[in-house]
Structure 1
Amino acid sequence: MLEKEHSEIRRQQPLADWLRTGIEALLYSSVFISLCAFGLTVETYLLTGNKVSLPMACFVFLATLFTYNTSSLQRMWRGWRAKKGGQSWSIRHQKELAVLALLSLAGAVVLYFLFELRINLWFVLTLALISVGYTVPLARNRLKPFRSVPLLKVFLIALVWSAVTVLFPLIDASVALDSPVMLIWLRRFLFILALALLFDIRDYTYDRHTRTLTFPGLLGENYTRFLSLGLLVLYLLLVLLTEEGEVLIGLLSAALVAGLIVWNASEEKPRIYYALLADGAMLVHFAFVYLAVS
């Protein structure tokens, strides 16, 4: 009987290992968060009643994938080598991630010109510089990454994400950036800003060691959570003023899910909590809107 149980455990172990490896690759290669960007871009079309442009959504996916893997590309460019053992997943697989960054950049460039996406190239490059400069110094030994600027990083994240997932698709669709559109942008900005604060909580010890002032360092972990919840309340007020029917219910539900994730966030939570749940709140946001309009 015991031999049979041990045999069953041995058969299940490879499956569990493959599953864990797959989840790690999905999360830490930034494919998952790029899917979140894809979903939010599609959501913008749905909210405004415009036809979904898959080339634009794929462009945002690839651009996000490139941006989040530029640190691996930088390390490879400088000839930095990972030490054996005890390294994070992204460090152990930095060569693969550097290749992924280059392939995603090439794909984004091909999509931009092949489908003649109608976004001003200078606008794209400006946001790209902000995104890359967030983690990679734009001038070696002269400038620090933008994330090192006190209290700035969460606003940069919210600004870039809201611009890319709201303004990019609507500009490409030739939609006028009037008050209703800008309210959608503001809602998205507040929602992303609320989630971005969670990563300040996650990185509190690291930021303290690097002497980077963040909101948890200024306000403390608890008050940072309350600030995040307050931003979600502002988001809810805007949703109540601008939406109705099933879309309103969907967005309220998405905010409730995000609120629960914020409420339970702490520095002690494992990194997968943030990679899967905090980022995943954006995908939940898209899913509720998709169900509401289907």
Structure 2
Amino acid sequence: MNKGKHLNKAPIASAILPVAIKKLLEALVYSSVFISCCAFALTLETYWLAGLSSSMPMAVFVFLATLFTYNLSSVQSIIRRANQQRNRQSESWVLRHKQSMAVLGVLSITSAIAVYFVFGLQINTWFILHLAVISIGYTVPVLYKKRRIRTLRSVPLLKVFLIAYVWAMVTGLLPLLDAGLAAGQPETWLFFARRFLFILALALLFDVRDYHYDRQMKTLTFPGLIGVQNTKILSLGLLVAYVALLCATEESTLLLALVASAVVAAAVIIFASEHKPRLYYLLLVDGAMLVHAGFVYLATR
């Protein structure tokens, strides 16, 4: 009799496990913890590529700042509509957990400030300030003389360049400056250009994902201008330019690791379409950055 009870529990347990994994995956992805881990990994990767000692406080600072930036819209929404009721019935994970994401955003920026002061991070104020203006302006509309100025992300064709610029600055240039490298050195800007091209190639895919939504909102993006397939070709072309820069600046095992990561990114680009589920982009496109860092880690051990 007891044996029968145990047999009945087995299928129940096997059914519950995938549901729990799915919920955990959704929480990591939609709360932006996953993409913040990607920023953390790319920051450490920069130290590895440059042959410098890694700064864990700087990597943690980048993780927390990224987490705040990606949850900023939830923070703004809660501040503007403090009495808004939680929508538990919504199909959207983000809408169901908007208050939690706002709390996460506040905690992350508070923790980032604490890390900055406790570890005495040497970050140029103007460097951080201009990135903060871009990041906030990307999400939050500005009121000027009672007129609502649209967000930077709604400016035609600008979104992907802003994403690539901020990511290349934060995960590429910031660690190099932290390690004492001069901003005017050609090697520093070559590294920035490499990171910019790689991120830009991936960022274009989010325009592919949002193709139908952007058309409804009348926001001009690259897929709306040149079509989805041509946008993917452009993205692959950027990866080719990235590999060309790699061949000019890297060699041996590191070059193979970086080229391999570009091949993985190319596969993600080839199979992308406007009909792919949101998780395809949040896991695989963002995950290409994690693969990138993982290959470099293996190559430098």
Give the TM interval when normalised to the shorter protein: over 0.9
- Per the alignment, residue 127 of structure 1 pairs with 131
- Aligned-pair distance for 1:82? 4.8
Equivalent position to 2:247, from 240, 248, 270: 240
Structure 1's 118 and 4: CA in aligned 2 closer, same or farther, altered over 3 A?
closer
User: Partners of 2:264 and 2:26 in 1: how far apart?
Assistant: 23
Query: Is contact 2:90–2:96 with CA below 8 Å preserved after alignment?
Result: no
Q: CA RMSD in A?
A: 1.7
Equivalent position to 2:32, from 25, 30, 33: 30
- Aligned-pair distance for 1:8? 2.9
- Aligned-pair distance for 1:102? 0.4
Secondary structure (helix, strand or coil) at the match of 1:268 reads: coil
- Per the alignment, residue 196 of structure 1 pairs with 203
Q: How does 1:18-97 map to 2 (within 5 A)?
A: 18-79=20-81, 80-97=84-101
Equivalent position to 2:141, from 134, 137, 140: 137
| Identical counterparts, % of pairs | 55
Equivalent position to 2:117, from 113, 119, 123: 113
Residue 158 of structure 1 pairs with residue 160 of structure 2: no
Secondary structure (helix, strand or coil) at the match of 2:58 reads: helix
Structure 1's 219 and 82: CA in aligned 2 closer, same or farther, altered over 3 A?
farther
Query: Is contact 2:38–2:286 with CA below 8 Å preserved after alignment?
Result: yes
- Aligned-pair distance for 1:77? 0.7
Query: Is contact 2:172–2:192 with CA below 8 Å preserved after alignment?
Result: yes
Secondary structure (helix, strand or coil) at the match of 1:142 reads: strand
User: Partners of 1:138 and 1:6 in 2: how far apart?
Assistant: 58
User: Partners of 2:191 and 2:120 in 1: how far apart?
Assistant: 25
Deviations 1:185-244 (A, max 9, x none): 100000000000000000001111111000000000000000000000000000011000
- Per the alignment, residue 192 of structure 2 pairs with 185
Give the gaps of 5 or more residues in structure 2: none
Residue 169 of structure 1 pairs with residue 175 of structure 2: yes
Structure 1's 210 and 82: CA in aligned 2 closer, same or farther, altered over 3 A?
farther
TM-score by length of 2: 0.94
Amino acid at match of 1:261: V
Deviations 1:250-278 (A, max 9, x none): 00000000000000000110000000000
- Aligned-pair distance for 1:135? 1.7
Secondary structure (helix, strand or coil) at the match of 1:52 reads: coil
Residue 262 of structure 1 pairs with residue 269 of structure 2: yes
Query: Is contact 2:86–2:99 with CA below 8 Å preserved after alignment?
Result: no
Q: How many residues align?
A: 294
Residue 223 of structure 1 pairs with residue 225 of structure 2: no
- Per the alignment, residue 286 of structure 1 pairs with 293
Query: Is contact 2:215–2:224 with CA below 8 Å preserved after alignment?
Result: yes
Residue 12 of structure 1 pairs with residue 46 of structure 2: no
User: Partners of 1:212 and 1:228 in 2: how far apart?
Assistant: 20
- Aligned-pair distance for 1:12? 1.5
Amino acid at match of 2:99: K
